[in-house]
Amino acid sequence: MEFIAFAIATAVALQAMKGYTLTRERTLLYLNISFLLLGAGLLVDGLANLVVLLSRFHRNFIYLSRLGYTIDFLAQLVAYTILVVVYVQQTRTWSGQIAVAALPIALLESNPFTELILIFLLTYISAQTAINYNISRTTNSLLVFGAFASLALAHVFFLLFTVAPIFFPFAHISQLFGCFLLLGMLFRVNQTR
């Protein structure tokens, strides 16, 4: 599943790069970097899990899974933070900027679950994309909102997985669904005439 998500994230990054090459708009460059990071994190996590699986959970390789998860988490943290900063810059609300800067720190200090930080960032991005859909009412913006909302839900399931293993498949299905919504948006964009 990580490899499919990696391919879709890379496709979105390439589309953003194409746009940046044409227009030199910095928001597209940040979008490109953000999705490249997401893709890289997913690839590392996927490869780490694959090695652990192929080694039949040999104890010498178990640490790789944890390392892969950590790298994926850090990549996601940076990627979503970039997106949040871009949205905050676009809306230019200082109160929003302060809230964005303060909350992850508060979460880091008060909560052991790193997933909560990603949930917070993704919820903010989902809210911004929902506002965008509410104004533009286009199918593409609905797909992007759906994608980020699904990714946020996936991290809620990943968080719940720490208390109940049953949520693990739901997390992956939700993550994959979000990626497919982004893929749908890409197809629609490339059919634009």
The identity of residue 123, as a single letter, is T
Q: Determine if 139 is a binding residue for other proteins (CB under 8 A).
A: yes
Using CA atoms of 150, 13, 69, 48 in order, give the dihedral in degrees to the nearest 10.
Answer: 120
Q: Which of 147, 88, 153 is nearest to 119 (CA)?
A: 153
- Distance CA(149)–CA(144), nearest Å, equals 9
Choice from 76, 81, 114, 141 touching other proteins (CB under 8 A): 141
Choice from 91, 93, 111, 162 touching other proteins (CB under 8 A): 91
Q: Determine if 190 is a binding residue for other proteins (CB under 8 A).
A: yes
Q: Determine if 32 is a binding residue for other proteins (CB under 8 A).
A: no
In the numeric block, the tokens 């652990």 are attached to 52
Length of the chain: 193
Please give the structure tokens belonging to residue 74.
């850090």
Taking CB under 8 A as the binding criterion, the range among 13-21, 50-58, 155-163, 172-180 that sits at the site for other proteins is 13-21
Helix or strand (DSSP H, E) at 78: helix 59-91
Q: Determine if 136 is a binding residue for other proteins (CB under 8 A).
A: yes
Choice from 8, 9, 31, 84 touching other proteins (CB under 8 A): 31
Q: Determine if 27 is a binding residue for other proteins (CB under 8 A).
A: yes
Angle at which helices 139-161 and 167-190 pack, to 10 degrees?
A: 160
Choice from 13, 42, 86, 119 touching other proteins (CB under 8 A): 86
- Distance CA(3)–CA(81), nearest Å, equals 23
Helix or strand (DSSP H, E) at 1: none
Closer residue to other proteins, CB minimum distance, 107 or 182: 182
CB of 104 to other proteins, least distance (A): 21
Choice from 3, 18, 111, 113 touching other proteins (CB under 8 A): 18
- Residues interacting with other proteins, by CB under 8 A? 15-16, 18-19, 22-25, 27-28, 31, 86-87, 90-91, 128-129, 131-132, 135-141, 143-144, 185-186, 188-190, 192-193
